[in-house]
Structure 1
Amino acid sequence: MIKKVFLFVVLSWFGLFWAHAQTKEIPVDNLGLVPLPLEVKAYEGKFTLPAKVVIAAKTADEQNVAGFLKDYFTVLGKVATVTADANLATIKLKISAVTDKNPEGYQLTVDQSGASITASAGPGLFYGAQTLMQLLPPKAQENVAIPYVRITDEPAFKWRGNMLDVARHFFPVAFVKKYIDNLATYKINTFHWHLTDDQGWRIEIKKYPKLTTISAFRNESLIGPQQLMKKPEDFKYDGQPHGGFYTQEEIKEVIDYAQKRYITIVPEIEMPGHSVSVLAAYPELACKPGPYQTRTLWGISEDIVCPSEQTFQFFEDVLTEVVQLFPGKYVHIGGDEAPKDRWRESNLVKDVMKKEKLKDVEKVQGWFNNRIEKFLLAKGKKLIGWDEILEGGISPKSTIMSWRGEKGGIEAARHGNEVVMSPASHLYLDHGQNPVPHSPVEPTMIGGYLPLEKVYSYNPLSSELTPAQHKFILGTQANLWTEYITIPEKVEYMLFPRILALSEVAWTPYAKKEYSNFLQRLGKQFPRLDAKKIMYRVPEPVGLDASKIVTQGDKAILTLSTLYPDAQIRYTLDGSVPNETSDVYTRPLAIPINRNIKVRTVTITPNGRHSVPAEVVIP
């Protein structure tokens, strides 16, 4: 009897201890979660995973998500199995109608009994699993423990997108899958696949085989930044044929891969502009006689398809095959940068304008788009296009992707059209990450300077719109054009870490965002990127902003820091680029004034990767 009483007292004491641990909150910043959940609480204590992890899953979605967790536990050196019996489980996955109706919302709890994730649908369960994986270490270690948390989360926006241009440079299926994995990790749910352009056509269309034998290849590519070329002799080419395409079977494979990660793929088939590759194979679709070749220059071409019945038949045939492949709701038709020079010269276009009573040639594109939209609607799809399609007039059912700032998106939302905000000023990730234009230490860029902080600062809900009009903003999207991004490593360099800033713009309510807090959490993501062999841009040391340097007497005091945990800062004072043999920064630097000393610094990560140099001249 005494033993039973003693055992009861001991068990009660442990119960009170755990309850106390659960109620004693601690700061959440050390969790390092990106994007920041809507509501997150952390508590003292951790749950240590057993050698064998059991995951409870019954439904198809639960089992799908369990597969990802099982794979991750294998990476951590744990044996994981799946069971239908929740009583036996370490990790419980549950889709329940009782939970939040948002299909992307979830609840995650970690306590002394293990971890549980509940959601109303598969996407939410998947995102809860992604959060759980961020609470785990990035690689195998002897003891794996999960901090006690209670998280209730859902996204701020339905459309959280990223676009990859594979038309300018082709990327293989294996890399496209890795790209999709990276989006899924940070809860980005839309992959915009830019499949066609002047410089290449990347999707097999069985009715038009010349699109893959001719349009998918160009003879060579321009060397260097085209925007700096002023004279004919400036234009030099590499002499290397470039191309490739995805078979329809490969497209299906990628779609299936994305669906398992709850990502919708939006295909883009450009029309009527950016279509020189089409004219290379089918010159009869042009207003002006050919011949044409798949374009080797970047930028905008005056040659676009002619709005003939033959052209409509071509695109309807193409789109018939496209919509049979892609199950998503939207088909992107581009519609941007379509000069009307050839149309103004065309008798066919003049006849169209007379027949359709169009007084402005720009309205011909609106007429063209409306015909394509009716075709897509008949196929159960919605048309989405860049904001130029507004200029020719759009129907109330069209969706606008606003890239030339927010003006087009604001106009469309005021008219009740769906909008995806994607301004180049904040979300074009082909823009440079170095304030020095065309810096030799970074990939060639197209646009201006787009640092991490500017991406993070973006708010998709314009103050020029009313709360009622905000409802038409589906969300936001970043775009990565690849004129100068030739290999997968450069794609990752331009994408990371800025894609993490995008993920928080798209997921976390603007009022909850704070850049300094984001940077603290971002630092914990770099070891995870290393574990996945992602070739991200290593952030340079912070503290060389000339406007913030403190002076003491005849010296300037430089206080430096790095976002990467356990990284070194190396520096030089003679203007040379620092390396592993340069001085290590250990305390603030006192630099004499009036000597024009150039201070240069780099971050060197524990695995030996270098940032680009950061520098300042102390006058």
Structure 2
Amino acid sequence: MKNYILCFIVIFGICSVMAQNSKSVDYNIIPLPQSSVLGTGKPFILSAATQISYPKNEKNLEQIATFLSEYILNATGIKVSVTNLPILKNGIILQSNFKNENKEAYQFDVTQNKILINGSTGAGTFYGVQLLRKVLMSSDSKTQIELPNVTIVDYPRFGYRGMMLDASRHFAPVDFVKKFIDILALHNINTFHWHLTDDQGWRIEIKKYPKLTEIGSKRAETQVGKNKNEYDGKPHGGFYTQNEIKEIVAYAQKRYITIIPEIDLPGHMMAALASYPELGCKGKEYEVRKNWGVSEDVLCVGNEKTFAFLAGVFEEMVPLFPSNYFHIGGDECPKTSWKNCPKCQAKINELGLIKDSKHSAEEKLQSYCISKVEKFLNAKGKKIIGWDEILEGGIAPNATIMSWRSFQGGIEAAQQGHDAIMTPSSHCYFDHYQGNDTKSEPLAIGGYTSIERVYSFEPVPEVLTSEQRKHIIGAQANLWREYMPTSDYVEYMILPRMAALSEVLWTKPEKKNYSDFLTRLMNLLPIYDELKYNYAKNILEVSPQITMDTQNSSLILSLKTTSKDPIYYTLDGADPTVTSEVYKKDISIKNSVTVKAAVIGSTQKSKIFEQAFEFNKATLKPVILKNQPTEKYRFNGAQTLVDGKNGTTVFSTGDWIGLYNQDFEAVVDLKNIQEVTQVEMNTFISANDWIFGPKQFIVSLSEDGTNFSPIFGQEIEIATQGENPKILNLKASFGSKKARYIKIVAPIFEKIPAWHYGAGQPTFIFVDEITIK
């Protein structure tokens, strides 16, 4: 009897140790699967005894099985074997015969004896493996792992899920390009848009035109900072040999990622013109551009040598890139040189291109250029993608539009029966700031695109009919690298925003929930840590939300974080510590104050959030605008002007409102007649962004809201070439006057001046806090 008892104790002890060493995982991953049903059976135990099986003679699945074995080893330290023989138990079975019309669909079944990952194609199987990879990496067990019974059926919402990397402004080494591809694979992104040429560098070897890399791949130095006439004095260069291109394309193909190359034309071609000056309208004195922005020097479209050159370039590129698509740019091409070029004007006359109510003759010349390139690439079995500017002058017959300036280009393309890829800068430009505390963020091109804003992105506009919506084939995010010289910098700007994008493109919109996404994101961040990805930690810091309580004349400040550690805050301008007030409820602000807050845990403290609120007679008072801000820069509308916060030189954080091609006119209601001696308003000037501010600042007063008396007027000079972005404080001071209503009028400059690349176009005006004393 004692022996039986001893045996029981030993067996029980072994089972207890196994239970302690075995840790269960969950399936709370990103992107969220379309369907997931947990079972009630015993879990699958992943251990060193587990094997991965794939069908004989299935090379694609053999490669995926190899990936999976590597993923398991890296995630858990468990080494599993790979076989093409059937496995009866404790096996991970890879197949690709799942019946589903979506070619990237897969079924993921977990039972006690096996995990079955069955894709409708190898791509589907690969994404099922990515799911398992993320599940395993979220576990900290290194001996054996329990996977609960589950049946998951999953597939992407969009067939085109893209990410663009600019390698022209700053060259990306081959090793990092591969790492970038790995990051895409982790997030179920299936298209890598590779921006290979621009004014600042030509990055692909073309053997027929060796000067493109001998000259065009190098610039003498690089602009320092933003919109400054300063340079680092350091040569910058680099290019990819054709063998390296083949290597990278093959690397991506194994991960079911298609690479679409971009040769930007007919603008953004200074690197090519520096190499072969005869391709430009003036034919000489070009250099690889060392600063950012848009150059007026573009390809000469009236010169047939230009098209022979482009044919030679694409002739060598077509065998390197098996993608159905080639991207040919077409954006930001000033027409000034064409207007002054005899060859281009002769071509306009030859083609009979005439200005009409919609397009200039030069815009139609660009359409001719794009159509001619498209015809050549179509003959090679390729389709073209172009930025939405190729709609100007008439769209090429079979072109796909990449809509970046807004949703409108994609809408117009779909309405005309063309496919479109949505990549509006408002949601998809990852070169924008991702935190609104821009002083403590790495330098960005401008703008503000938080992870929440990315997650709110809906690629299919409601204005389209059901048939037109089929032409929205997907979306992508873009990463322009003017201000990202290093690979770590790139990772910081794309992560974790890429996680939000991946769920937008993969998961059905009705299943999306931002709060749930943030919870699952906490499972993804440790994976970034494990893979040594450099990511932005804004979501672990203090995130403010400010609302107006006009009835009680107060601002309501909510402080949020996804971190599990508490938020501490101060209202006296001191840095918060663990002895400061713990944030538990909304903060009501009724007077001028500086709020500082931080997430503080036992081992670390977040970056300090700081916001100054300045109250005056205008704060939280009603404001009526004559003209509404443009949708992209509307934010909280008129109330933005009296919310107690001053905007910074980053104009897209929601602290400014922007009007385009419209005068600014606002009336502030002080609610009763008061003594007024001073009226101020901030405006932002940034010529490079087409923001020129007002040409006048006019203040009028009224007691009844009907009869206004002008009290102040000021003329303002337009921004000059080379002037840095700045905040201009407009101030009207006068003797004490009684008024209830204050009207501010700030008419715009009607046209961008002649020295600017956008000469003749309408301007923006940005305005912020109105202060009345």
* CA displacement at 1:43 relative to structure 2: 4.2
Is the 1:604–1:611 Cα contact (8 Å) retained in structure 2? no
> For residues 284 and 590 of structure 1, do their structure 2 counterparts lie closer, same or farther at Cα, with a shift above 3 Å needed?
closer
Question: 1:614 and 1:512 mapped to 2: Cα distance?
Answer: 35
In the other structure, the counterpart of 1:155 is 156
Q: Which is richer in helix?
A: 1
What SS does the aligned partner of 1:52 have? coil
* 2:460 aligned residue: 461
* Cα 1:418–1:461 shift into 2, 3 Å: same
Closer, same or farther in 2 for the Cα pair 1:250/1:348, shift >3 Å?
same
CA–CA distance in structure 1, aligned partners of residues 141 and 421 of structure 2: 40
Aligned match of 1:358: 353
Change beyond 3 A, Cα 1:497–1:355:
same
- Which is higher, the Rg of structure 1 or of structure 2? 2
- Assess if the C-alpha contact under 8 Å between 1:32 and 1:525 holds in 2: no
Other-structure match for 1:57: 54
Match of 2:117 in 1: 117
| Alpha-carbon separation, structure 1, partners of 2:442 and 2:222 | 16
Contact preservation (8 Å) 1:83, 1:89: no
Structural mapping, 1:380-391, within 5 Å = 380-391=381-392
CA shift, 1:141, in A, is 2.5
Query: What secondary structure is seen at the aligned counterpart in 1 of 2:392?
Result: helix
Q: How big is the shift at 1:593? A: 6.3
Aligned residue runs from structure 1 range 45-84, under 5 A? 46-58=43-55, 59-75=58-74, 76-84=76-84
Match of 2:404 in 1: 403
Residues 1:575 and 2:576 are matched in the alignment: no
1:592–1:429: structure 2 CA closer, same or farther, 3 Å change rule?
A: closer
What's the offset of the Cα at 1:52?
A: 3.0
Cα pair distance change 1:572/1:507, threshold 3 Å: same
Give runs of aligned pairs for residues 166-315 of structure 1, distance below 5 A: 166-226=167-227, 234-307=228-301, 308-315=303-310
Q: Are 1:62 and 1:93, in contact at CA under 8 Å, matched by a contact in 2?
A: no
Q: C-alpha displacement at 1:607, in angstroms? A: 8.4
TM-score normalised to structure 2 length: 0.70
1:543, distance to aligned residue in structure 2 (A): 5.8
The answer for unaligned runs of 5 or more in structure 1 is 1-25, 227-233
- 1:601 pairs, out of 593, 597, 600, with 597
Residue 151 to residue 444, structure 1, CA distance change in 2 (3 Å): same
Q: 2:317 — aligned with what?
A: 322
1:365-376 alignment runs, 5 A limit: 365-376=366-377
* Contact map agreement 2:52 2:94 (CA 8 A) in 1: no
Instruction: Specify the alignment match of 1:349 in structure 2.
Output: 344
Displacement, 1:289? Answer: 3.2
2:725 maps to which residue? none
Alpha-carbon deviation of 1:31?
3.2
**Once the two structures are superposed, what CA deviation does each residue of 1:235-276 show, in whole Å capped at 9, x if it has no partner?**
111111111111111111111110000000000001100001
**More strand by proportion, 1 or 2?**
2
- CA–CA separation in structure 1 for the residues paired with 2:487 and 2:581: 33
Deviation at residue 466 of structure 1 after TM alignment = 0.5
* Kept after mapping to 2: 8 A contact 1:188/1:263: yes
Q: State the alpha-carbon separation in 2 of the partners of residues 593 and 415 from structure 1.
A: 51
Give the whole-Å Cα distance in 2 for the aligned partners of 1:463 and 1:144.
Answer: 45
Q: TM-score, normalised by structure 1?
A: 0.87
- Could you say what the CA RMSD is over the residues aligned between the two structures, in angstroms? 2.8
- Measured after TM superposition, the shift of residue 453 of structure 1 is 1.2
Q: Is the 8 A contact 2:167 2:196 kept in 1?
A: yes
Structure 2 counterparts to residues 386-465 of structure 1, below 5 A = 386-436=387-437, 439-465=438-464
In 2, Cα distance between equivalents of 1:543 and 1:443: 18
Q: State the one-letter code of the partner of 1:254.
A: I
Question: What is the distance in 1 between the residues matched to 2:44 and 2:582?
Answer: 36
1:351 corresponds to which letter in structure 2? Answer: A
Aligned in 2, Cα 1:415/1:534: closer, same or farther, shift over 3 Å?
Answer: same
Stretch of structure 1 that moved more, 400-409 or 352-361:
352-361
Letter in 1 for 2:215: I
1:454 to 1:119, Cα distance in 2 relative to 1, 3 A: same
Worse overlay, 304-313 or 260-269:
304-313
Distance 1:591 1:572 in 2: 11
- Distance across 1 between alignment mates of 2:283 and 2:119: 58
- Which of 113-122 and 256-265 deviates more? 113-122
Would you say the 8 A contact 1:363–1:393 is kept in 2? yes
Note closer, same or farther for the CA distance 1:56–1:532 as it changes in structure 2 (3 Å cut).
same
CA distance in structure 1 between the aligned counterparts of 2:588 and 2:93, rounded to whole angstroms:
61
Q: Which residue of 2 aligns with 1:484?
A: 483
Corresponding letter in the other structure for 1:245 = F
Question: What residue identity is the alignment partner of 1:105?
Answer: A
Contact 1:51 1:78 in 2 (8 A): yes
Query: Which residue number in structure 2 is paired with residue 229 of structure 1?
Result: none
1:131-150 equivalence runs, <5 A: 131-138=131-138, 141-150=142-151
- C-alpha change, 1:387 and 1:89, in structure 2 (3 Å) is farther
Contact kept in structure 2, 1:568 and 1:584, CA below 8 Å: no
1:544–1:615 contact (8 Å) kept in structure 2: no
Q: Distance in 2 between matches of 1:577 and 1:525?
A: 31
Separation in 2, partners of 1:569, 1:379: 60
CA distance in 1, matches of 2:371, 2:122: 35
CA spacing shift, 1:123–1:584, aligned 2, 3 Å: farther
1:546 paired with 2:551, answer no
Closer, same or farther in 2 for the Cα pair 1:314/1:584, shift >3 Å? farther
Code of the aligned partner of 1:588: K
- For 1:314 and 1:93, the matched residues in 2 are separated by 51
Q: Distance in 2 between matches of 1:36 and 1:461?
A: 19
Worse-matched range after superposition: 514-523 or 300-309: 514-523
1:147 to partner: Cα distance: 2.9
Task: Check whether the contact 1:601–1:615 (CA below 8 A) recurs between aligned residues.
Answer: no
Name 2:358's counterpart in structure 1: none
Q: CA deviation digits over 1:128-167, x for unaligned, max 9?
A: 1111112213455333222332110111111000101111
Partner of 1:103: 103
Structure 2: unaligned runs, 5 residues or longer: 1-23, 355-360, 616-773
- Give SS of 2:156's match: coil
CA separation of 1:263 and 1:450: change in aligned 2, threshold 3 A: same
Q: Which amino acid aligns with 1:478?
A: A
Rounded Cα–Cα distance in structure 1 between residues aligned with 2:269 and 2:199: 5
Q: How far apart are residue 598 of structure 1 and its match?
A: 3.2
Map of 1:78-97 to 2, 5 A cutoff?
78-88=78-88, 90-97=90-97
Equivalent-residue separation in structure 1 for 2:468 and 2:229 (angstroms): 47
| Cα separation, 1, equivalents of 2:557 and 2:264 | 51
2:509 maps to a residue whose letter is Y
Q: Report the Cα distance in structure 1 between the residues aligned to 2:298 and 2:579, rounded to whole angstroms.
A: 57
1:34 counterpart letter in structure 2: I
